[in-house]
Amino acid sequence: MEDLAVPEEEEASPFRKIGTKKLRKMKDKAEKKVMREEEEQESLRLRAEGERRRRATERSTRSTEATREAFTVEEEGSRVRGGGGEARGVQDSSDCHTEGEKWCRVENLAVAFTSKLNKNKLSYVGSVDARSQGMLAASSTTGLILQGRPRTLPAKSAAEVKRHQKLYEEMVAGARRKELQKAKETIEKEKQRRQRDKMVTDSLLVWQKVLPNWENMKSSKRVRDLWWLGLPPGIRGEVWKRTIGNDLNISPELYQISLSRCRERLAAVQSRSRADSSGSLRGINREQSVEVIHLDVLRTFPTLGFFQEGGPYNQMLHDVLGAYACYRPDVGYVQGMSFLAAVLLLNMDASDAFSCFANLLNRSSYLAFFRVDHGLMRPYFSAFTSLLQEHLPRLHEHFTRLEFSPEYYLIEWIFTMYTRTFPLDVACRVWDLFCRDGDCFLFRTALGVLRLFQNEVMERHTIEEVGQFLGHLPDFVDGDTLFQNISTINLTAKRFSQCLQQHSSSSSS
């Protein structure tokens, strides 16, 4: 399977309405935009880091100068109190010895402080010649250990200078080892990611044999194990369509009817808005919410550039969301739907995306969340709390102590099926397993996320801190590490259904 490669046409199947050259240009443009944003973020981070170091250096310098002044004042006082002559000389010597001991204690504290400060990151600054002369590296507190004592105090002995030099070199070497280890881990993760991507690509040959015999092979152990790695992009849309199904019997004609109704409604709302001098939209109903879709579309996967003004999928995303708002006026448009429809559009054409979108949101769990029906959502929160206590008891106890309930973070995760929480490739892999296992996998993923970041969450001791962290998880979430944590959560669809049913009956009674 070494020479197995996915044909370019299949890889580009989500974008088959666009020419190959044009698509490549758009991809290159999007990649360059992402690179520019990353460079800007890195530049801001470096400036912030430099400013932080500068302030730390200034604080250290002020502290050192204040200590010197205090010692100098006390030395002068000792000389005044000494009484002159030989007695004063003895007193000066004694005071100097005492101050030397104090300064040594200050140096030891400085060593401990700089070691702790540079535990995570150390900047190697200053030349060997400067260090040998005891000069302070201006942009690193590590150089404090090499600074000579004030002129009013005894100079460092040769042994002390040698010891401090050795400590400095050990700290620098430790920082270098840590950076090298981090670089190795990054390289190893990238290697693993490429191996997994190759396995997924190679699995396309197997999936091409599975699709013609879907009903007989979809539940086999081999297919389910292959499914866990993620679906190849070339067949992802087809598998999603088959697993989501079409219980609502939505046809392309129904999509066109709903789309026409949407455009009529949008024209009527815009006409009424122009006639209304205040421009108020307070009187529109859920079906008329098609007018407010525009703002959400612009915020959908902005780094891709596909759904923004002038992007190839901008109008298609408007059409799917608007058609659904008119197809289901009882639900209308709810913020967050744009991410779901966008992911579907990246993997299938507009009519199929509309069908999958409508059938997906017709599930009881999604209707409960998108209707914001707290009575229907409550059993899901109660069931999840029970599962959290079962699988992550320490974290459950921490949340209970803070009175931090699941709705503070679960709603957004389930609303968008993690498309706003994870990078797009990781989110698509979650969707793959959701199509295999059903609603259960979304809650299993939530437990996996909490397990992955359990230590970070336990370090936060207020509702605001925990909510802020879970609402804005780190930008880079490694897919393999996440799925390793998910795999440790033993939660089957049957077990989840039983737990949900138990809490549904208890809440109704």
Following DSSP, what letter does each residue of 255-298 receive, concatenated? HHHHHHHHHHHHHHHHHHHHHSTT---TT--SGGGGGGHHHHHH
359 pLDDT more than 80:
yes
Helices 252-275 and 350-361, axial angle in degrees (round to 10): 80
95 pLDDT more than 90:
no
**Amino acid in position 247:** D
10 pLDDT more than 80:
no
- Residue 196: other Cβ atoms inside 10 A: 16
Q: What is the mean pLDDT of the chain?
A: 76
What is the average pLDDT across 240-257?
93
**Which pLDDT belongs to residue 480?**
86
Chain region(s) in the chain for CATH 1.10.472.80: 363-509
**Which pLDDT belongs to residue 173?**
86
3-state secondary structure of 232: coil
Question: Which residues are CB-neighbours of 116 under 8 A, at least 6 positions away?
Answer: none
CATH class assigned to 363-509:
mainly alpha
246 pLDDT more than 60:
yes
Backbone angles phi, psi at 473, to 5 degrees: -65, 160
Least Cα distance to 337 among 321, 323, 318 occurs for 321
Count of helices and strands (H, E) across the chain:
24, 0
CA end-to-end span of the chain: 58
Which residue's structure tokens are 């809440």?
Answer: 507
**Which pLDDT belongs to residue 87?**
40
DSSP 329: T
Q: CA separation (Å) from 459 to 117, 387, 394, 450, 455?
A: 19, 22, 12, 13, 6
Tell me which of 100-109, 285-294, 313-322, 440-449 is least confident. Answer: 100-109
Separation between Cα atoms, residue 83 and residue 264, nearest integer Å? 102
Burial class (CB in 10 A: 0-12, 13-18, 19+), 7: exposed
44 pLDDT more than 70:
yes
**Which pLDDT belongs to residue 287?**
45
- Residue 216: other Cβ atoms inside 10 A: 9
Q: For 204-215, how does the pLDDT look when each residue is reduced to its tens digit (9 = 90+)?
A: 888 988 999 998
- pLDDT band for position 64 (cuts 50, 70, 90): low
Chain region(s) in the chain for CATH 1.10.8.270: 245-350
Question: Which residues are CB-neighbours of 66 under 8 A, at least 6 positions away?
Answer: none
Tokens read off for 315: 């109008």
Domain 245-350, CATH 1.10.8.270 — does that match?
yes
- pLDDT band for position 323 (cuts 50, 70, 90): very high
- pLDDT band for position 144 (cuts 50, 70, 90): low
Tell me which of 226-230, 262-266, 470-474, 481-485 is least confident. Answer: 262-266
Q: For 178-191, how does the pLDDT look when each residue is reduced to its tens digit (9 = 90+)?
A: 888 888 888 887 88
**Which pLDDT belongs to residue 104?**
54
Q: What is the pTM of this model?
A: 0.62
What is the average pLDDT across 22-44?
71
What is the average pLDDT across 316-345?
90
Q: CA separation (Å) from 339 to 72, 238, 423, 465?
A: 67, 19, 12, 26
Least Cα distance to 447 among 406, 506, 507 occurs for 406
DSSP 204: H
> What percent of the chain clears pLDDT 90, i.e. is strictly above it?
29
